[in-house]
Protein backbone atom coordinates (compact mmCIF):
# COMPACT_ATOMS: atom_id res chain seq x y z
CA UNK A 1 0.00 0.00 0.00
CA UNK A 2 0.99 3.60 -0.55
CA UNK A 3 3.09 5.25 2.17
CA UNK A 4 1.89 8.83 2.63
CA UNK A 5 4.55 9.38 5.29
CA UNK A 6 7.24 9.27 2.60
CA UNK A 7 5.78 12.33 0.83
CA UNK A 8 7.19 15.82 1.40
CA UNK A 9 5.02 18.24 3.34
CA UNK A 10 3.06 20.46 0.97
CA UNK A 11 1.90 23.26 3.26
CA UNK A 12 3.57 26.63 2.78
CA UNK A 13 5.31 28.71 5.44
CA UNK A 14 2.01 30.18 6.58
CA UNK A 15 0.34 26.77 6.63
CA UNK A 16 -1.90 27.75 3.72
CA UNK A 17 -2.49 25.31 0.89
CA UNK A 18 -4.96 27.37 -1.12
CA UNK A 19 -2.78 27.34 -4.24
CA UNK A 20 -1.35 23.87 -3.77
CA UNK A 21 -3.01 20.63 -4.66
CA UNK A 22 -1.70 17.10 -4.81
CA UNK A 23 -2.94 14.40 -7.13
CA UNK A 24 -2.55 10.78 -6.05
CA UNK A 25 -3.34 7.62 -8.00
CA UNK A 26 -3.77 4.12 -6.59
CA UNK A 27 -5.18 0.87 -7.89
CA UNK A 28 -5.59 -2.72 -6.81
CA UNK A 29 -6.24 -1.81 -3.19
CA UNK A 30 -8.45 -4.91 -2.69
CA UNK A 31 -10.09 -3.69 0.51
CA UNK A 32 -11.95 -6.97 0.84
CA UNK A 33 -8.72 -8.02 2.55
CA UNK A 34 -8.94 -6.68 6.09
CA UNK A 35 -5.27 -5.67 6.29
CA UNK A 36 -5.69 -3.47 3.19
CA UNK A 37 -8.78 -1.77 4.62
CA UNK A 38 -6.89 -1.21 7.89
CA UNK A 39 -4.10 0.57 6.00
CA UNK A 40 -6.62 2.87 4.28
CA UNK A 41 -8.00 3.88 7.66
CA UNK A 42 -4.53 5.21 8.57
CA UNK A 43 -4.22 7.46 5.50
CA UNK A 44 -4.13 11.16 6.50
CA UNK A 45 -6.79 13.65 5.52
CA UNK A 46 -5.83 15.70 2.45
CA UNK A 47 -8.90 17.85 1.76
CA UNK A 48 -7.18 19.93 -0.95
CA UNK A 49 -5.97 16.90 -2.86
CA UNK A 50 -7.40 14.61 -5.51
CA UNK A 51 -7.38 10.81 -5.53
CA UNK A 52 -7.58 8.79 -8.73
CA UNK A 53 -8.84 5.37 -7.66
CA UNK A 54 -8.12 3.13 -10.64
CA UNK A 55 -10.06 -0.01 -9.89
CA UNK A 56 -9.87 -3.33 -8.17
CA UNK A 57 -11.36 -2.19 -4.88
CA UNK A 58 -13.64 -5.18 -4.15
CA UNK A 59 -16.40 -7.28 -5.67
CA UNK A 60 -18.52 -6.79 -2.54
CA UNK A 61 -20.72 -3.69 -2.93
CA UNK A 62 -20.81 -2.98 0.81
CA UNK A 63 -17.00 -2.98 0.95
CA UNK A 64 -16.84 -0.75 -2.14
CA UNK A 65 -19.22 1.68 -0.42
CA UNK A 66 -17.16 1.69 2.80
CA UNK A 67 -13.98 2.23 0.80
CA UNK A 68 -15.52 5.16 -1.09
CA UNK A 69 -16.73 6.69 2.17
CA UNK A 70 -13.23 6.43 3.65
CA UNK A 71 -11.62 7.98 0.59
CA UNK A 72 -14.18 10.79 0.45
CA UNK A 73 -13.43 11.59 4.11
CA UNK A 74 -9.74 11.91 3.26
CA UNK A 75 -9.59 13.61 -0.15
CA UNK A 76 -11.28 16.70 -1.57
CA UNK A 77 -12.17 14.86 -4.78
CA UNK A 78 -12.15 11.17 -5.65
CA UNK A 79 -12.32 9.90 -9.23
CA UNK A 80 -12.98 6.22 -9.80
CA UNK A 81 -12.65 3.81 -12.69
CA UNK A 82 -13.84 0.25 -12.01
CA UNK A 83 -11.47 -2.65 -12.46
CA UNK A 84 -12.31 -6.23 -13.34
CA UNK A 85 -12.65 -7.24 -9.67
CA UNK A 86 -15.18 -4.46 -9.07
CA UNK A 87 -17.40 -5.76 -11.84
CA UNK A 88 -17.85 -9.29 -10.47
CA UNK A 89 -21.26 -9.02 -8.85
CA UNK A 90 -23.16 -11.62 -6.89
CA UNK A 91 -26.82 -12.49 -6.25
CA UNK A 92 -26.45 -11.16 -2.68
CA UNK A 93 -25.87 -7.73 -4.25
CA UNK A 94 -29.18 -7.98 -6.10
CA UNK A 95 -27.45 -8.79 -9.39
CA UNK A 96 -28.21 -11.84 -11.47
CA UNK A 97 -24.80 -11.70 -13.17
CA UNK A 98 -21.82 -9.41 -13.70
CA UNK A 99 -23.05 -8.18 -17.07
User: Average pLDDT per run of 10 along the chain, which is 99 residues long?
Assistant: 61 54 94 95 95 92 93 96 82 74
Would you state the pLDDT for residue 33? 95
Alpha-carbon distance values, 49 to 20, 30, 60, 63 (Å): 8, 22, 27, 23
Residue 28 lies in a domain: yes
- Distance (Å, whole) CA 33 – CA 97: 23
Residue 9 lies in a domain: no
Residue 3 lies in a domain: no
Would you state the pLDDT for residue 90? 73
Would you state the pLDDT for residue 14? 47
Host domain of residue 74: 23-87
- Count how many domains the chain has: 1
- Distance (Å, whole) CA 67 – CA 45: 14
pTM of the model: 0.72
Would you state the pLDDT for residue 93? 73
Task: Detail the DSSP E strand segments found in 1-99.
Answer: 23-26, 46-53, 75-80
Check if the beta carbon of residue 73 is closer than 8 Å to that of residue 51: no
Residue 35 lies in a domain: yes
Residue 53 lies in a domain: yes
Residue 14 lies in a domain: no
Amino acid sequence: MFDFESLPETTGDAGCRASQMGVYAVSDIHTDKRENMDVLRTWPRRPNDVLLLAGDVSNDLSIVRTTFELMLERFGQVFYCPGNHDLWMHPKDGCTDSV
